[in-house]
Amino acid sequence: MGAVTDAINAEIQQLGVEPVCPGLAELATSLAQSVDEADAPTAKAVAARELRAVMADLRRLAPVAAKGDAVDDIATQREKRREAARQHAAGG
């Protein structure tokens, strides 16, 4: 595989969109291969333009990741402080 194909496959995996829209994910991989394998600049440009459009669709369809944000970090720290205070109050 080429550099574009590897990068696109990595992004698809990171986005987690393959179970949601496997056809579009496969189309993106196919277009990435076309970009990697194209000899003519025009063919490469056309494949790249279509790949950008498909990837934009995949990014919009990607499930929302449940990563923690600053509010979650603050809540976690608060819970740790409360637990420490409970242990201290209980004599532990």
Check whether 76 has a pLDDT greater than 90. Answer: no
Distance between CA atoms of residues 5 and 55, nearest Å: 12
Please check the confidence at residue 81 and state whether its pLDDT lies above 80: yes
| Cα–Cα distance measured from residue 27 to residue 61, given in angstroms and rounded to the nearest whole number | 15
Residue 61: Cβ within 10 Å count: 13
Please give the model's pTM, rounded to 2 decimal places. Answer: 0.69
pLDDT given at position 45 = 97
What's residue 71's pLDDT?
77
Give the pLDDT score at 65.
65
Predicted confidence (pLDDT) per residue in 36-66, tens digit: 999 999 999 999 999 999 999 999 999 876 6
Cα angle: 45, vertex 42, 6; to 5 degrees: 40
